[in-house]
A and B are shown apart, each in its own frame.
Chain A
């Protein structure tokens, strides 16, 4: 049948519960990763980043985990709130040189819906 568009994976979470959003990245040479949040009608906003020499990094209510062996990234949101409802993207970056940065490649995104 005719494709009508991307069907984003959707994660439904009850308010107060923890959320885990997963992402598989493509390039084993990528050494820097970012999670972005995009609310309806807005541009993506930076949430948290991690370098390839780390496997975990924590921010305020968010934690990013990196598993380079299987090229997997995850974002954990603690005590999910209604304001966390958005599309979440992971992005990978392979820099050209130490003085310039290469392309950021974005994943397809995950729609998070927080229910009361």
Chain B
């Protein structure tokens, strides 16, 4: 079992650029979560999907953030345009009802 796979592991970009983070959940899992972790706010839930349908996106900070899940094996989190305050570690996690399994995260730095 490869676990939750996220790419890229590290992303450095300039303010104003579009950033796309990718996630492949564990095969068979029906829920997918995007979290953001910063020193200031800890681990925050941004959005989660159940059976590829967005259930709650109330954690998405603003319209610059969008997430999609076109199929059960792939999800993206896009930031357009990116700002320095978006710098954080972004985690994707998946689950089948109970335990949440996290990927290794994407370290995003917006200069």
Give the interface of A toward B (CB within 8 A): 3-6, 32, 34, 36, 42-46, 49, 89, 91, 96, 100-109
Contact = CB atoms under 8 A, between A and B. Distances in A.
- Most A Cβ at <10 Å: residue of B35, B43, B50, B103: B43
B105 A32 contact: no
5 contacts: A44-B102, A46-B100, A46-B101, A103-B56, A106-B42
7 tightest A-B contacts by CB? A43-B102, A5-B39, A106-B43, A100-B50, A44-B102, A108-B42, A46-B99
Contacts, number: 60
Contacts of B4: 43
Interface of B: 4, 31, 33, 35, 38-43, 45, 48, 50-51, 55-56, 91, 93, 95, 97-105
A49 B103 contact: no
B43 to A, nearest CB: 4
A32 B98 contact: yes
